[in-house]
Amino acid sequence: MPYLSGKTALLELLKQEGVRIMFGNPGTTELPLMDALAGETELRYVLALQEAVAMSMADGYAQASGGLAVVNLHVAPGLGNAMGMLYDAQKAGAPILVTAGQHEQTFNITEPLLWADLPRIAQPFVKWSAEVRRLADLPLMIHRAAKTALAPPTGPVFLSLPGDILNADGELELGAPTRVASRIRGDADAIAQAAAVLARAGSPVILAGDAVAQGNALGELVALAELLGAPVYDEGMASRAMFPSSHPLYRGGFARLPAVIRGLLSHHDLLVSIGADLFTLSLPGAVDPLPEGMPVVHLDIDPWELGKNFPAKVAILGDPKATLPELTDAVARVRSAAAADRARTGLAAAQAATRQSLMQLRATAEATAGRTPIHPLSLMQAIADLLPAEAVVIDETISSGAGLRRFLKSDDPQSFFGLRGGGIGWGLPAAIGAKLALPERPVVALIGDGSAMYTIQGLWTAAHEKLSMVFVIINNSSYRILKQRVNAMQGLAAQTDTYVGMDLVEPAVDFVAVARGLGLAAHRATKIAEVKDLLVAALKADGPTLIDVVVDRNWKPV
């Protein structure tokens, strides 16, 4: 058995688990770890200047790499700073080992500075939360944490690392990683039942969720959609590209208001959820989003999601990549010639309707393209048209992103990452994590001005790491979405046209100055043509660029 210190063992164990980057922000309780890192060559420490930034960088890295990300935080306040972004990571199912330094165990009873019971703080947002109590347990606990984060449904785990554990040494058996094979094929009887329901459906609609992207099952979902002639929407808060956006059955993101969802579903007689959440609503409503009696067929890797809010006629626990081909084959086998004909007609009609709606969207965008200040829809179109197919887009556009994924060529599961959890401030650092995971691909973050200010110091890390990537700030100098929402309440704000706490003016944030101060090249654009020129140059630049795009502050619909 090797004789090792806890801190060295920790690094060895992480490397065994395939970890090459650790995100973090250090303090006294992390000093043993920082000391060990001084002699480390294979594992790189990426410094974030605030823990929320470190957490979302790890989230972006985990989602873009599909592997384990590790983040190290500083005791209770550091973990506290990261909690909002840990919430987002959990919602996105990002496999992250969150660690925090802790005081020495014999010292904790005195309640030293910065101390708190860390596992209890992290617990609600992680799959497993624990403190290492003995050096001998460290290997088992690191391996268990990594295994648990990566086993479906994937998600963050938390380990508290007391100083005495990291500083102790002894003979340690390092053990070995476990990977849970996750291509779970759904129950054969349930697949047959689902196939019978699908074969009879006259006008099914498919909602695609993160399990499709995580399992790299876009091609398998395309095959089912084409067979059924069914249009496909992303789930309401999409964390990934779950369906190729250039496919003629792709309809874009789903609604998040009950009445709108109901309206969309009322054109169909069957809802097929492939890993999609039913439903993430942004506000409650007077109507039920699911029309009465509408049958649901639901396939997911997470048993919690199956039938969570609405009873499923057939619920299949399984991995989309492993299960969809069997389901698609079964539908083709069991359905009648008449049903197959109907589906082919449906396919042609659905494709025509998709094309029509995209043309309409493009026409609306083009109609606003010459405007100053820039209209968000024409900005989305201009950016999407310019980006190459291999671009990776991180979307925290909030009220400005309508049409974005329909305009984009985002056809692979790594081509798009969106704000699944809704806690803003995620996108800017998540884009940095995505760039570190996908260094060969152009990475472009589209971030609302309000959202950017939650984690703006992430820009420094992009400059420090010399990452060639682009941050586009959609700058309406306001929390525009909140104005829209408070106005919809038809209360005092609407009557008096007064919006308290929603204007980022007097002074306006000077994003160009802020970005330059953090080491980036930065420019301001007020016209679409300027945005295009700046974006073309930024995509070729060595190092990060921020483009501050002044957009229309008007929050009313076009």
Task: By CB under 6 A, name the binding residues for ligand TPP.
Answer: 84, 398-400, 422-425, 448-451, 476, 478-482
**How far apart are the C-alpha atoms of 305 and 181, rounded to whole Å?**
20
- The closest of 434, 468, 543 to 57, measured between CA atoms, is 434
Nearest-approach distance from CB 523 to Mg ion, in angstroms: 19
Q: Of 163 and 418, which CB lies nearer to ligand TPP in the complex structure?
A: 418
Nearest residue to 272 (alpha-carbon basis) of 251, 289, 297: 297
Closest CB to ligand TPP among residues 12, 235: 235
| Nearest of 177, 395, 222 to residue 324 by alpha carbon | 222
Please, what is the minimum distance in Å from the beta carbon of residue 489 to ligand TPP?
A: 15
Question: In angstroms, what is the minimal distance from the CB of 444 to ligand TPP?
Answer: 16
**195, interface contact from ligand TPP, Mg ion, none, CB < 5-8 Å by kind:** none
**Residues 19, 20, 21, 26: is their CA dihedral positive or negative?**
positive
- Say which residues have a Cβ less than 8 Å from residue 227's Cβ, sequence separation at least 6: 328, 331, 332, 343
Instruction: Give the residue with the Cβ less far from ligand TPP, 154 or 476.
Output: 476
CA distance 443 to 448: 16
Alpha-carbon gap, residue 551 to 511, rounded angstroms:
14
Q: Is 351 left (phi over 0), alpha (psi -120 to 50) or beta?
A: alpha
Of the two residues 57 and 132, which places its CB atom closer to ligand TPP in the complex? 57
Strand 96-102 with 157-162, pairing: parallel
Please identify, using beta-carbon distances, which residue of 113 and 488 lies nearer to Mg ion: 488
Order of strands, edge to edge, in the sheet holding 96-102? 44-47, 21-24, 69-74, 96-102, 157-162, 129-131
- Contact in structure between 547 and 523 (CB atoms under 8 Å): yes
Cβ(287)–Cβ(258) below 8 Å:
yes
Of 8 and 476, nearer to Mg ion (C-beta) is 476
Least Cβ distance, residue 309 to ligand TPP (angstroms): 22
∠ CA(427), CA(433), CA(437), 5° rounding?
135
Which of 71, 94, 50 lies closest to 161 in space, CA to CA? 71
Nearest to 243 by CA among 362, 95, 411, 406: 411
Give the residues lining the site for Mg ion (CB under 5 A). 448-450, 476, 480
Q: Which partner, ligand TPP, Mg ion, none, binds residue 84 by CB below 5 to 8 Å per kind?
A: ligand TPP
- Minimum distance from CB of 517 to ligand TPP (Å)? 20
- Residue 49: CB minimum distance to Mg ion, A: 23
CB of 82 to ligand TPP, least distance (A): 12
Which CA distances in Å does 9 have to 15, 170, 171, 281?
A: 10, 10, 10, 45
Instruction: Report in angstroms how near the CB of residue 467 gets to Mg ion at its nearest.
Output: 24
Closer by beta carbon to Mg ion, 229 or else 448: 448
> Nearest approach, Cβ of 449 to Mg ion (angstroms)?
4
CB of 545 to Mg ion, least distance (A): 20
Minimal distance in Å, beta carbon 532 to ligand TPP?
21
Q: Of 380 and 521, which CB lies nearer to ligand TPP in the complex structure?
A: 380
Residue 291 interacts, among ligand TPP, Mg ion, none and using kind-specific CB cut-offs from 5 to 8 Å, with none
Q: Which of residues 411 and 548 has its CB atom nearest to ligand TPP in the complex?
A: 548
Nearest to 321 by CA among 228, 416, 184, 447: 184
In the complex with Mg ion, the residue whose CB is nearer, 98 or 452, is 452
* Maximum CA extent, the chain: 76
**Token duo for residue 184:** 């779970």
* Count of C-beta atoms within a 10 Å radius of residue 558: 12
Shortest-Cβ-distance residue relative to ligand TPP:
448
Between 383 and 424, CB nearer to ligand TPP: 424
How would you class 316 by CB atoms within 10 Å of its CB: exposed for 0-12, middle for 13-18, buried for 19 or more? buried
| Distance in Å, CB of 428 to ligand TPP, minimum | 10
423 binds, among Mg ion, ligand TPP, none (CB under 5 to 8 A by kind): ligand TPP
| CA atoms of 154 and 142, how far apart (whole Å) | 16
The site partner of 399 among ligand TPP, Mg ion, none (C-beta below 5 to 8 Å per kind) is ligand TPP
Residue 424 or 437: the one with the smaller Cβ distance to Mg ion is 424
State the angle between helix axes of 320-334 and 218-228 in degrees (0 to 180), rounded to the nearest 10. 20
